[in-house]
Chains A and B, each alone.
Chain A
């Protein structure tokens, strides 16, 4: 199985400041057919299902604010919230959908400092 390791497990950031979440995959998730990394980021607020933010490692889902930025370098992936808003308090997960079993990171809890 591909292991997805997120860091940190939690972070507290002041409103308007940058939040950075890292995710490392234990092997490549690059899909040769379209040269895309098969890596998504989700946001989950309490009592809600996960919400897709980013797919193909860096493509923002329609309707997602542009303060959410996905980046990639080999098997290292990053989700950056460029200017944290109060409504961004949530748990964030990365997921690889390259090969079964599709696996998620353990989650990163983002809070306001």
Chain B
């Protein structure tokens, strides 16, 4: 069974660093794109970026490029989202999401993690 299990809620101060994780189960981790989606309190969904674990190729939304870093460790089937210096405006729920490939063609996002709530407050 495919599962994406995310790390727990975090409370940090602005300026602190943070790395949250998403561990994948039940499929060949390396050969599916995995991405991150932000949802600010009471707001909609925003795609931040994705990584292809086989070669660590990454794509970022222009809105998030330079603000976060997406990485993956194939050996432990885990993807990461990290900040070097959090801002109060980074307070949000963050979801990891898998992108399926059908008949060799990359397609839609199918499985979502349960979400990690990040709170950055002084």
Contacts and interface: CB of A to CB of B under 8 A. Distances in A.
Interface of A: 1, 31, 33-34, 36, 38, 40, 42, 49-52, 55-56, 61, 93, 95, 97, 100-107
Interface stretch (B23-31, B69-77, B78-86, B107-115): B107-115
Interface of B: 35, 44-47, 59, 61-63, 95, 99, 103, 105, 107-110, 112-115
Given A104-B47, A107-B44, 12 more contacts: A33-B105, A38-B107, A42-B45, A49-B112, A55-B107, A56-B108, A93-B44, A95-B47, A97-B107, A100-B47, A101-B61, A102-B47
B109 A40 contact: yes
B115 to A, nearest CB: 5
Contact of B63 (A36, A40, A95, A101): A101
B105 A34 contact: yes
Contacts of B45: 42, 50, 93, 95, 104, 107
A89 B93 CA distance: 21
B52 to A, nearest CB: 13
A77 to B, nearest CB: 13
Contacts of B107: 36, 38, 55-56, 97
